[in-house]
Structures are given as C-alpha cells and as structure tokens.
Amino acid sequence: MACRLYLVTPPAFELDAFAATLERALSGGDVACLQLRMKGAADGDVLKAAKRLMPICVKENVAFILNDRPDLAVKAGADGVHIGQSDGSYEEARRILGDERIIGVTCHNSRHLAMTAAEAGADYVAFGAFYPTKTKDAGYRAEPGILEWWNELFEVPSVAIGGITVENCRPLVDAGTDFLAVCAGVWEHPKGPDAAVYDFNKAMAGTE
C-alpha cells in the first residue's frame, strides 16, 4: 500500500483561521486523516473544535482522529482516537469506542510496545520521533530500521512521526511506513499548507 499523509493539528490555533487553513491543506492532495491534538484544553473547547473541523474532513473523505480521549471521541462522533502510553490502556479505549472506530497507539522506539499493541488489536502503531521536533518533547528517538522490521513481519499499519518534512521523509517511506504523521512540516511550510501536501505526496510517490 502506498504511504499516505497523516496530519496533526498545531499545538495551538485560532479555530476559524485554522479551519480555513485546513481546507487549504486538503485542497493540495491526498490526506488520510487528521488528528485533533489539543493537550490541556477544556473538554468543551475540544468538542467545539471537533464540531468545526470534522465536517471539513468528512467532505474530503479524511478520517478524523481525536488525541488522548476516547470518551470525547465518542461524544464528537470522531472516527477514532490516538492514545499514548500514559493515556490509559488500549483495552479501555476499545471498550469505550466499540469495535468499529480506529484506535492507534504510540509506541515510541519500542518493538515490545508495538507488538503488545498489535496483539491487543490496535489499528495502527506509531513510531518516533525520527527527527528533532518542536511540537512536543518526544523523549524518544527512533531509526528507520524499526519501520523496516515492522513492515517485514506485521500487517498492522505503522505511522512514522516526529520532525518529518518534505525534505527528510523519503528514508521513512523507503523503510516501509504506511503513514507519515506531520505537523509543522505542513502548517509551517513556506509555500503554504496546500503546497506542503502536494509536495509530500510527490515525495512519497518518488516523483519529486
């Protein structure tokens, strides 16, 4: 399967302005999903953002994933949730979300965590950070080799995350990752988010 783009919202944003930015980004080319990541925000603000942004994603057939909170994902009607290692268990998230919604799990640079998540039933596992990132204090560094290992042995999709740009993404694609999770590499692209999405798709296809 061809590698696809997995967008993560900026650490902070003004909702109406970002809604327009998201529409512009999605006009640039193929995007698999958007993760709404609002660390520390009030529940009401998360739900308000989801209500504003999710229809934009639905219109473009882009999956809408909520970070951390399976309970809010259900309330928002999101397609799924992404959970970190400190965000509660996969089993609890699955109990809340039911069988149909997506659950992805952060696995840092750990083969053990990834295998545990996959065996539990996770829909994807996320490895990283692969490159330095300003978005969050990753605390873990991963190498492309973990993607090669995963791709050879497991069918559960992998997501590569952490400091990924158009210029540095190709080794991760070549290593076999299914998705590139990108934040600043799209929202801070000097030519705009639509150009970023376009350039990422070209880079992933090897036609840049």
* Residue 140 clears pLDDT 90, i.e. is over it: no
Closest of 180, 193, 96, 183 to residue 203, by C-alpha: 180
Q: Is 179 exposed, middle or buried (0-12, 13-18, 19+ CB in 10 A)?
A: buried
Average pLDDT, the chain: 95
Scanning the chain, the segments in alpha helix (DSSP H) are 15-26, 43-59, 70-76, 90-97, 111-120, 144-153, 170-174, 184-187, 193-205
Name 81's bridge partners: 66, 103
Please compute the mean of the pLDDT values over residues 81-92 and round it to a whole number.
Answer: 93
Distance CA 6, CA 26 (A): 11
CA distance 141 to 128: 6
Give the pLDDT confidence score for residue 19 in this predicted structure: 98
Question: In the Cβ-directed half-sphere of 130, how many Cα atoms lie within 13 Å?
Answer: 24
Q: Worst-scoring range by mean pLDDT, 111-125, 135-149, 184-198?
A: 135-149
At 16-58, the pLDDT tens digits run 999 999 999 999 999 999 999 999 999 999 999 999 999 999 9
Query: In this model, does residue 202 exceed pLDDT 90?
Result: yes
Residue 110 has a pLDDT of: 97
CA distance 135 to 188: 11
The domain containing residue 62 runs over which residues? 4-205
Of the candidate ranges 51-60, 83-92, 175-184, the one whose mean pLDDT is the lowest: 83-92
The proportion of the chain whose per-residue pLDDT surpasses 90, expressed as a percent, equals 92
The model's pTM = 0.96
- Rounded Cα distance, 172 and 146, in Å: 10
Question: The domain spanning residue 13 has which CATH number?
Answer: 3.20.20.70
- Tally of domains within the chain: 1
Report the pLDDT averaged over residues 172-190.
97
| pLDDT of 191 over the 80 cut | yes
